[in-house]
Chain A
Amino acid sequence: MPPVLELRGITKSFPGVLANDAIDLSLEKGKILALLGENGAGKTTLMNILYGLYKPDKGQILINGQEVVIHGPSDAIARGIGMVHQHFMLIPVMTATENVMLGVESIRNGIFLDKAKVAKRIQEISKQYDLEVDPQAYIGDLPVGSQQRVEIIKVLYRQADILILDEPTAVLTPQEVEGLFKVLRSLVASGKSIIFITHKLKEVLAIADQIIVLRSGRVVGSVDTKSASQEKLAAMMVGRAVNLVVKKKPASPKDVVLSVKDLFVRDERQNLTVNGASFDVRAGEVLGIAGVQGNGQTELVYALTGLSPLVSGEICIMDKPVHHTSPRNILERGVAHIPEDRQKHGLILTFPVQDNLVLCTYYQPPFAKGLALQQKIILETAEKLVEQYDVRTPNIFVPVSTLSGGNQQKVIVAREFSRPIHLLIASQPTRGLDVGSIEYIHSRIVEKRDEGTAVLLVSPELDEIIALSDRIAVMYKGQIVGILPAARINKAYLGLLMAGVKPSEALETTPATIQEAEVERVF
């Protein structure tokens, strides 16, 4: 029997970049194929070709042994290919049923929508594949994990046999990831085939049958999961051996640098997203704030850095209150901020690299004398920082937008770390970065800690929190629901706290698992 899907020699180039270079791939019926690669390796391009969004320059696509040409998403759907995007394509004010039928509406008596029929079909699908969803629920009210199940049902409702999942675990709690894997297993058991796109090694090993590793648009390895290991896969992705564990000495915390008391903050839509958070961060330690995205972490960081006003509460840096002061005032007290969204906050993308390197200090000597910018000193400093922080850029005059994500992040790190700082607020410092850059930025953060900087690390990546933190605080619905020394914690327990289980109950359900922390890191 031919494979359900086969790609032969798929090549696609964009001006100046060969995104896919003669890629061969085959997916057997009832199997899960993991497509592994760093950002920019060509995974998404390949899947967009398969989904008909791009036309390949060369190569063939075969479905069940027959060559096909896919002209667009509707064509792909008609051929049984379904895609679950990383960012859900759902309409929050509509119910699950309405979202599922969107675009393929069932009609009753000529003009009326037949929601009952669709709801019934959804229930059948849910039962068959263990995809628990309430068809009448509004998407906006559902947790992220359920929303993802609606996306999967949407694809199944359109009778897809080949499912493509693009980074499906990025927004899930560890428990939700387990749930998703269960669903995927039941899908393949009933004859569906799945392509799973990710850059997380552990997940690949847990779920895939076959693993294809992409690097710079080329297939660099196709391995059976049984014969794969994290180290081996990481090395294939990056092209060299990678240090998977962050090496760090035990922390030696000193005085309190940041102290937060009963903080309340509203988000842009005026919802109270930080609900009375309190915690301290000491010099020489990393406090990690774990939590599923959207539990107030973003607004917490905005309040700490002066970007959002507080409703009430107190923020003190080195015993001096800083709430109701300006972002500049906070910067000048020695606070460095690696922002969550580096392109929105961290950089002026159209500005050259050198200007971005002095974005927070351009007005101070030696970079300015009175009104006049000291171009020569800025240039020299930029050259030095680019060298010192290994920023890969053709020169310091190109717009920072032309750099890769990892190098853009290095520009931010170089800028923030080269100022005299007492407190580092790092919000998702490695979001979307490749393994090599993650390794680099983690080691720099630990270095800062060892120099006596207080570090507040905010990340939805539990592995990152565990790898770097000395203490871990879990944030849920705007509150810090528990703070524990990192050595006393494990992932299952953290996952329960992140999902809103009370600390005492979480302890009861996982009594035996509270042991030494896992120091292993996954990407």
Chain B
Amino acid sequence: MNANATPTNPERTKSSGKQGQGSKLLQTLLVPALAVLTGFIIGAIVIALSNDAVIVAYRNFFHAPGAALAATWKAISIAYGSLFYGSFGSLPEIYRGFQSYSATGNSKALLQAIYPFTESLATVTPYILAGLAVAVGFKCGLFNIGAEGQFGIGALTSAFVGYSIHGLPWYIHLPLAMLAGAAGGALWGAIPGLLKGLTGAHEVVTTIMMNYISYSLSNWLLNGPMKAPGFRPLTPVVENAAMLPRFFPAPLRFNWGFIVALAVAALVYWFLFKTTIGFEIRAVGANPDGARYAGMNIVKNFVIAMTLSGALAGLAGASQVLGIDHWVGQGFSAGYGFDSIAIALLGQSHPLGVVLAAFLWGTLRSGATSMQFTAGVPIEIISIIQGLVIVFVAAPAVIRWIYRIRAIRTETTVLTRGWGK
């Protein structure tokens, strides 16, 4: 039976509209936030269970329950403490570093103190762009599994433009190299878009195939035409003029790519929600039949969305090459494309959500190394936590059940459609 026979509040007031949107935002954030929390709680249990000292302490649980609990607490707090330190550094250290810098003019301590956090931000950068790529696909009802390949192609094209052209000023060379990355990814995304629009070939299949093509293509390029002199399959280092400027001296790698990524996120938001093309893309994604009824061209929108998605993934590759690595090696794109799917899911395909999710992903990745180093907790714990978060986001019913949240009556968001039409 129709449970919503009559709306509860027939009055129309603008203020109630704003309120409704506010609580909607809260509801939207609630499940991902709880998913992250739950992921960390289960991660803590895994950390405790994989710690020898904790296991030993629990053997004597009945003699010394306090010791067992203390050991558990110690294991978890050291692991998460070092993870946090690895991701953000520590405030007192930054403060001391700042004091010594202002007193003596020596920036060494300060740079050391801000290293973890800036490194996290540098890691976040490609995640933002690649996450946006998958999110744009989702908005049009397309599941772009090919961000991986588009990322790799974008990295190669930007590197090529970066090292093969000489003598350009930075304000031409850098944008050119970035655009080359975007164009490479766009091409790699447009092909599945066209195939989908014109022949109905499912984008999941075609983007996976495009990934394989990109792997083989980059292997060949790195061992042949694009190989730098030497033994290893690497491209030459890009020209200085093509590099994204870094904010601090080495080894800090935090660079302008982060600002570019944030700006692109804002641009994607504007494009999706404030322009006619974005309106069409979202309409096609939400209900292709309705979009066709309203006179929208489905094929055109599939191609636009996949091209844009590919361009964003390519830009992510470019940001990594021009901002961090400065050259491309084999297996360069490994993992970014698939992490970006997770980020888009966690961010609920909204640009702001993607930025937040990418922030979580990047900081976790960046802090994981320090956790392994300091606490001896294997880096794989982070993958477990990330995996759990995605499971919970994908199955919100589990989270609602755990935390006894009543489901709000909303339409299920269609991220992608089944096979066939």
Contact = CB atoms under 8 A, between A and B. Distances in A.
Interface of A: 14-17, 19, 39-45, 48, 216, 305, 307, 326-332, 337, 339, 344-351, 355, 359-360, 362-363, 368, 371-373, 375, 383, 386-387, 392-399, 401-405, 407
B293 A405 contact: no
Interface string B97-116: 00000000000000000000
A40 B5 CA distance: 5
- A15, A19, A348, A383 — most chain B CB neighbours (10 Å): A348
27 contacts: A19-B1, A19-B3, A40-B2, A48-B1, A216-B6, A307-B293, A326-B297, A327-B294, A339-B293, A346-B293, A348-B286, A348-B291, A349-B411, A350-B287, A350-B410, A351-B283, A363-B276, A371-B276, A372-B276, A373-B275, A392-B6, A393-B7, A393-B12, A395-B13, A395-B20, A396-B17, A398-B17
A362 B279 contact: yes
Interface in B1-57: 1-14, 16-17, 20-21
A402 B7 contact: yes
Interface of B: 1-14, 16-17, 20-21, 274-277, 279, 282-283, 286-287, 289-297, 406-407, 409-411, 413
Given A351-B286, A355-B279, A402-B7, A44 B1 contact: yes
Closest 8 pairs between A and B when the two form their complex, measured CB to CB: A40-B5, A328-B295, A395-B17, A45-B1, A345-B293, A40-B2, A371-B275, A17-B3
Nearest to A391: B12
B134 to A, nearest CB: 19
Contact of A350 (B9, B12, B413): B413
A16 B413 contact: no
Contacts of A307: 292-293
A345 B289 contact: yes
Given A16-B3, A371-B275, A373-B275, 10 more contacts: A305-B293, A326-B295, A328-B295, A345-B290, A345-B292, A349-B287, A392-B7, A394-B9, A394-B16, A402-B409
Contacts, number: 144
Given A373-B274, A373-B276, A402-B4, A347 B290 contact: yes
A239 to B, nearest CB: 12
A256 B286 CA distance: 37
- B11, B287, B290, B297 — most chain A CB neighbours (10 Å): B290
B419 to A, nearest CB: 16
B267 to A, nearest CB: 12
A44 B2 CA distance: 9
Contact of A395 (B16, B283, B291, B297): B16
Contacts of A401: 410-411
Contacts of A331: 294-295
A347 B297 CA distance: 16
Given A40-B1, A307-B293, A326-B297, A407 B413 contact: no
- B13, B21, B295, B296 — most chain A CB neighbours (10 Å): B295
A397 B16 CA distance: 10
A170 to B, nearest CB: 16
B290 A360 contact: no
Given A19-B3, A348-B283, A373-B274, A395 B12 contact: yes
Contacts of A396: 12, 17
B276 A362 contact: yes
